[in-house]
């Protein structure tokens, strides 16, 4: 008996050069999933009123297929839809900015007119007080003004008070829902510039743009410069 046999070990499986195992490369993301991700980011940006992150859009943008490779089905349609959504978002943002600027101009005009009429009223009141004091001192003597002049001052003061009341009513009507003064059914949502009266609905407003219709405000009869659609959260 030559003795016990020594156990032989089988050589390890092929592990490549230097005995290291090769690692398989990580799977690349699907082009469809990247385009869908871009569309999702854009939808979120539109919902929040912002713009899509240009960096994320650049890093996650799928590169078009090179010569000799086929573009996966549906990628072209998703790309067109993404571009359309971007254009619609930018257009909606521009329209909202234009409406805001028009509404801001109307409110600024109301405030300026209100301040002007309040100053006129204050001046007329001071003049009336002065005249009344002069009359009381003279005790029936001459004030240096005719009766007609005193009546003119009184009329001017009354007109200024009435105009100030109309201006305040117009400002309140811009905040509270009112009905169209023409049809008395639909809600008024169109303001008249420069008087500021919001008294027309979207159905009746086009009549005041036509050549055959009157070009005066139905409330104050002042000339119509332009019509401005007013939007708010409840409309």
Phi, psi of 170, rounded to the nearest 5 degrees: -65, -40
Domain at 198, CATH number: 3.30.40.10
Structural domain includes residue 166: no
Q: What is the reported pLDDT for 26?
A: 56
Structural domain includes residue 88: no
Structural domain includes residue 207: yes
Residue 195 class from Cβ within 10 Å (0-12 exposed, 13-18 middle, 19+ buried)? buried
Structural domain includes residue 55: no
Structural domain includes residue 227: yes
Phi, psi of 187, rounded to the nearest 5 degrees: -80, 135
For residue 195, the enclosing domain spans: 177-235
Residue corresponding to tokens 């117009």: 170
Q: What is the reported pLDDT for 46?
A: 45
Q: Considering only 38-47, 68-77, 150-159, 175-184, which range has the smallest mean pLDDT?
A: 38-47
- DSSP states of 96-108 as a string? HHHHHHHHHHHHH
- Higher pLDDT residue, 231 or 59? 231
Mean pLDDT of the chain: 71
Q: Count of domains in the chain?
A: 1
Entry pTM: 0.27
Structural domain includes residue 221: yes
Structural domain includes residue 224: yes
Structural domain includes residue 233: yes
């Amino acid at each position: 008996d030559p003795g016990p046999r020594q156990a032989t070990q089988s050589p390890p499986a092929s592990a490549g050069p230097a005995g290291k195992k090769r690692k398989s490369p990580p799977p690349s993301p699907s082009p469809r999933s990247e385009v869908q991700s871009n569309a999702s980011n854009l939808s979120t940006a539109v919902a929040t009123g912002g713009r899509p992150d240009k960096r994320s859009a650049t890093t996650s943008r799928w590169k078009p297929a090179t010569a000799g490779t086929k573009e996966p089905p549906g990628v072209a349609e998703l790309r067109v839809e993404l571009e359309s959504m971007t254009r619609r978002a930018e257009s909606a943002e521009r329209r909202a900015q234009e409406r805001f600027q028009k509404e801001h101009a109307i409110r600024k005009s109301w405030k300026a007119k209100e301040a002007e009429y309040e100053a006129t009223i204050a001046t007329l009141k001071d003049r009336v007080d002065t005249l009344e004091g002069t009359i009381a001192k003279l005790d029936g003597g001459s004030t240096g003004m005719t009766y007609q002049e005193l009546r003119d001052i009184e009329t001017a003061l009354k007109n200024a008070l009435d105009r100030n009341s109309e201006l305040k009513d117009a400002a309140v009507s811009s905040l509270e829902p009112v009905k169209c003064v023409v049809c008395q059914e639909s809600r008024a949502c169109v303001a008249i510039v420069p008087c500021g009266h919001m008294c027309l609905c979207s159905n009746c407003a086009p009549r005041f743009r036509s050549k055959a219709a009157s070009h005066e405000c139905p409330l104050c009869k002042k000339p119509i410069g332009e019509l401005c659609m007013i939007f708010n959260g409840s409309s």
